[in-house]
Amino acid sequence: MADISRTEPTQSQVARPSVARPNAARKILHADCDCFYAAVEMRDNPALEKIPLAIGGTADHRGVIATCNYPARAYGIHSAMPTARALRLCPELTLLPGDFDRYRQVSQEIQTIFHELTLKVEPLSLDEAFLDVSDVTRFRGSATWMARWLKQECLSRTGITLSVGAAPSKFLAKIASDWEKPDGLFVITPEEVDDFVTALPVKRLHGVGPATAAKLKAMDIETCSDLRRWPIDALLERFGKFGRRLYELARGIDDREVRVERERKSVSSETTFHRDLPDLNACLEALPPLAEKLEARLARHGYPALDRVFVKIRFDDFSMTTLESVGREPTVAAFADLLERAWPRGQRPVRLLGVGVRLVNAEARRQLGLFDGD
């Protein structure tokens, strides 16, 4: 990695308000902490650094891995993997429960550093965020120098290693931050976008999971260059609305803004059971505590306007289904009705059960307000 010794402006200079430059090209950073939860544990206990380490639930309680360090990843362990499988891959794995109060505190320290560079910060989780630095004039306006400063300050102040990607768009910045992990810094300039995207495997595009990647491969599409040969009408026909997104991303088009305030879209409550619920009756009996927990969460959010209610079921074979209903209140009776209609889709023991609500978005509330009376 390049030397990041400071030859650029100091922290006190970067913290001052910046002045917008008219018609400046967009400069987006995606900052992502490397194996964040594990990194905090290794920082506080250096004896954990060189051994396989994972943060997650225990195997006897049907736990899953939240994250793991790089020695553990060498065994094929990854986030969202069942803990039991991780322990089979690496019997000597050190497993720790998550200390989320401590992780949130470290996250706040890192977010403070982000906001010293720009106020245009969109947190995605405790350990990653987008930053729009288009108008930042410090560091001579260089996104590369800004990324180096972020990495240096994060490491020196919190002991956490940051990987940063810089690009003219959010989707490319996120790809760039993952390009040279861990401790990475990768920059895609506007002049490099077309060549970079042309050679990019389609499986790296945002929203392309294993099923979509397999469908694209069946169409002989493995890179964005292959994807560009398909007209938009054909992609819409095969992928619906996502076909337009594929068409745009294959050309490096992503005009999404960094959103300082992210609007909550749903509130939910779910439980992964220590033992599978054997049948529908057992699932129905598990609903009242979930509905009660959901009610408490809605109260904390000031009872936001609701659009619909839903149930979520993950069966013992890890298949999942959800069912929604518009215009109903989040009552046990409403969830029971949805559950009775959704469970027959799998008719198997249930590993996870969830209930929740979709919220009316701000734009819809504004439109409804046009019709309100005095």
Is 60 annotated as contributing to ligand binding?
no
Contact 335, 309 (CB under 8 A): yes
Annotation says 92 is catalytic: no
Contact 309, 356 (CB under 8 A): yes
Torsions phi, psi for 336 (to 5 deg): -65, -40
Contact 92, 49 (CB under 8 A): no
Gap between the Cα atoms of 198 and 351, Å rounded: 42
Gap between the Cα atoms of 5 and 15, Å rounded: 19
* Alpha-carbon separation of residue 248 from 54, 171, 235, 251, 307 (angstroms): 37, 11, 11, 5, 30
Q: Which two tokens stand for residue 330?
A: 């989040």
* Alpha-carbon separation of residue 343 from 9, 21, 332, 340 (angstroms): 60, 56, 16, 6
Gap between the Cα atoms of 186 and 164, Å rounded: 7
Q: Which of 133, 102, 99, 104 is nearest to 31 (CA)?
A: 133
3-state SS assignment for residue 311: strand
Query: Sign of torsion, CA 159 181 215 80?
Result: negative
Contact 2, 148 (CB under 8 A): yes
3-state SS assignment for residue 4: coil
Q: Which of 8, 41, 122, 128 is catalytic?
A: 128
Is 127 annotated as contributing to ligand binding?
yes
Q: Which of 310, 324, 321 is nearest to 346 (CA)?
A: 321
Q: Which of 23, 234, 19, 54 is nearest to 135 (CA)?
A: 19
Query: Sign of torsion, CA 335 336 341 343?
Result: positive
Query: Sign of torsion, CA 25 171 54 293?
Result: positive
- The CB-side HSE value for 281 (13 A sphere, CA atoms) comes to 0
Residue 38 is given by DSSP the state: H
* Binding site per annotation, positions for Mg(2+): 32, 127
Q: Which residues are catalytic?
A: 128
* Binding site per annotation, positions: 32, 127
